Amino acid sequence: MPELPEAETIVRGLRATIPGRTIARAEVVKPDILREPKRHFTPKVRGRTVSAITRRAKNVVLELDDSSVIWVNLGMTGRLLPFAEPPRGRARPTHPAVRFRFSDGGVLIFDDVRRFGTVEHLDEAARGERSAAMGPEPLSDTWLPEHLIEALGRTRSPARSWLLDQRRVAGVGNIYAAEALFLAGIDPRTPVSSINEARGRALHGAIRDILQGAIEAGGTTIRDYRNAEGEMGEYGRKLYVYGRDGDPCHRCQSSIERVVFSNRSAFLCPTCQPSA
């Protein structure tokens, strides 16, 4: 599932072509993608100009000129693909769910093979409520090591599970939680309340380093993810542990292990990430 780096990469790609365009109409091909009836959604976005493209956690946000937004969660296979003119032939996306047709002839298509993604319109108040329910943005200058250390001491949740909780830190998913915990030398099963200050500071730095590195590489493509230009992310070549069970650790050559808890796989190096 796309995480913060993948959403951020898509946002940066869309910023080059979408802001300033006016939505002439929205064509909902797959109504189950919407969080509200089609008859309610389409009038709200028709005639609105996209003023900016931003991100919150793993979500792509199209800001409109009336202070409302189109909030897009990519799910597992969602893609936002811009075209200067309606695509034809092989260029046409194979699983379009929503088409935003612009007044200048361009089109933005939300394409989703498995249709786990969502598209919804939120007014200014609803957007604020949605954002407030999420944790801090880990790449924000205002998110300091002290904030993470304080939050860790409030629960005995396993470290990996804690990082996946979007109320704790926004945008981190299974891939980058595994990678950050490796860099910080923390077993993913470690209760977060037992993480001392030194390890907490290491984890804070690791989260930021991993996310920034993944953004610079255009995200991680495991199977389906593509950026706004339809290209794969390159960070998969740099992964330390995620999906590498049985392979040697890049640091110590120990075999990477896969463990399952909370019904999800976690990956670790037993030498570099000793159990607490």
Decide if 88 is catalytic: no
Task: State the catalytic residue, choosing from 154, 238, 251, 264.
Answer: 264
Residue 30 known to be catalytic? no
Residue of 58, 127, 160, 168 marked catalytic: 58
55 is catalytic: no
Distance, CA of 8 to CA of 213 (rounded, Å): 12
CA dihedral 131, 135, 140, 146 (to 10 degrees): 150
Our answer to whether residue 3 is catalytic in this structure is yes
Catalytic residue among 3, 6, 8, 137: 3
**Which of the residues are catalytic?**
2-3, 58, 264
